[in-house]
Amino acid sequence: MTFVISQGCCRDASCVAVCPVQCIRPRPGDPEFETAEQLYIDPAVCIDCGACVEECPVDAIHPDHDLPAELSGYLDVNAAHFASGADYDRIPVRHVRPRLPEAAEELRVAVIGTGPAACYAATELATNRGTHVTVLDRQPAPFGLVRSGVAPDHPRTKLIADRFASVLSRSNVDCYFNVHVGTDVTVAELLEHHHAVIVATGAQDDRRLGIEGEDLPGSHGAKDFVAWYNGHPDHSGDVVDLSGERAVVIGTGNVALDVARILMRDPETLARTDIAEPALQALRDSNIREVVIVGRRGPESIACSAGELEELAKLPGVELTVTCPPEDLEHLDPGDRRFRVLTEAAREPSGGKRIDLRFRSVPEALNGTDRVESITLAGQGELAASLVVRAIGFSSQPLAGLPFNADKGILPNERGRVLEPETGEPVAGVYCTGWVKRGPTGVIGSNKVCAEESVAGLLEDFVSGRLVKPLHTREEFAALMAGRVPGAVGFDGWRRIDETERERGAESGRPRLKIVTKQEMLTVASGR
């Protein structure tokens, strides 16, 4: 028997460290680790110990004899990764966290954000003796895109929030949710109360197309659209018109495929997930029967993962088709699972609901008087559509008081140390991790290695005496926040929100029924 890593792998490599025979690849440090779609287990070397199963935070590892039917193909996927038979190094690679000297004063660090990058950074710090971490987030509910970005029909991926919660609930971690850094408290004030600040605010904005009609009603950025169906409180009042028969999604990455899949999936299937109730009702009333996914380049440049594309192809009651010149498909690598899906899908539609992958199509304009009625594609004319979602990437926002590289959409940094653009010197005590550090690339687990690098630099600077001792105590910071933000939510407040959502969901057979307004969240968090 062997174990198998399946779709949903978060790639944080927790499983690698516990494997006694080192049969999981790629590992952090391997050339292909940063770009790998997932990790794989070598069936010829696996000794069936099950250590990786216990360590996986998203339940993506299964024994081969107990693979769910929809994941049965992953036995071959794992084996194929090792098909060359090439030998590989089996010396265990373990992550050793830098440790503070026993005589060192308590290190206090503020982490801005609670998404994966922030939580991995908090983990690196809080599990180090002699540290105290303050975590701040603008929303009353933590976990960033794990809560508001992961598709509701991918529940296993959301399980990583349980691991993050175990860190945020530690005695040496203070949580301040519903606090807007830059408005309620400044970075300079955080530095007066902490040795260092780690910025992990992610990428909050959708990139724009820059074409006429982009701001018409019916045109949405993917981040906003995904936040709407995931119950983000900033989008609780959004109205998404699904009365037309065709939607267009611009982009071919995983987010674009998530949007298409949610639009086409049976609402009664979604009714068993944590999808926001207003979105579920809108999808139940939806008239959309076709989603066209538009890619500027050819199929060889499709940006999604194989697992996402295969899931789209298996969507019940929905046909997947491909529109592109036939010669575009002739020279694709047959060893790439994505291209096999595209080749099989390249046929004439047979009627009914469908998703069409349309390549070599460049949007030129969105058309309509009071709302979107069609999209103009270069050389193809107008395509009728009442909903257009652009999923062409994200960009970060500047944070008041810190330098920002607007061209790259990141904080200027070297290995996580934020730099002054004019001098190239580090900004004392300020670090970054995640998308605001490297740009919006990678999956959840990519942030683990990223955070480890940033925290390692911070600890090195602390031990070397390059960080300034805080002017004020933890108690003084708590008093400052109590005066500035009486509605700040601590971890106990989040626990009340979490328990309430789970209890409400259980009544209708759902994992949770999300509270979608900030005011109700704050009421529940307060215990009133």
Annotated binding site for FAD: 117, 145, 181, 435, 442-444
483, amino acid identity: G
> In whole angstroms, what separates CA 21 from the centre of its chain?
30
Closest CA to 198 of 490, 474, 399: 399
Peptide bond into 267 cis (omega under 30): no
Q: How far apart are the first and last CA of the chain?
A: 53
Element (H, E) at 389: strand 387-390
Closest CA to 4 of 35, 33, 56, 29: 56
- Tokens 């630099």, residue? 457
- Tokens 């979604």, residue? 270
477, amino acid identity: F
Q: Judge whether 224 and 388 are in contact, CB under 8 Å.
A: no
Q: CA-based angle 67:70:75, to the nearest 5? A: 45
Backbone phi, then psi, for 525, in 5-degree steps? -60, -35
Please compute Rg for the chain using Cα positions: 24
How many of the other CB atoms lie within 10 Å of CB of 321?
A: 17
How many of the other CB atoms lie within 10 Å of CB of 479?
A: 12
List the structure tokens of 478. 């708590």
* Residues in the annotated binding site for NADP(+): 296-297, 308, 442
Q: Judge whether 184 and 201 are in contact, CB under 8 Å.
A: no
* Residues in the annotated binding site: 117, 145, 181, 296-297, 308, 435, 442-444
Closest CA to 224 of 177, 215, 442, 165: 215
Cα 372 from Cα 390, distance rounded (Å) = 13
Q: Judge whether 41 and 24 are in contact, CB under 8 Å.
A: yes
* Burial zone of 84 (CB within 10 Å; 0-12 exposed, 13-18 middle, 19+ buried): exposed
Element (H, E) at 119: helix 116-126
Q: Judge whether 514 and 231 are in contact, CB under 8 Å.
A: yes
Closest CA to 450 of 463, 462, 432, 426: 432
SS3 494: helix
Tally of residues, the chain: 528
User: Pairing state of beta strands 426-432 and 196-199?
Assistant: parallel
Backbone phi, then psi, for 408, in 5-degree steps? -95, -15
Cα 325 from Cα 334, distance rounded (Å) = 18
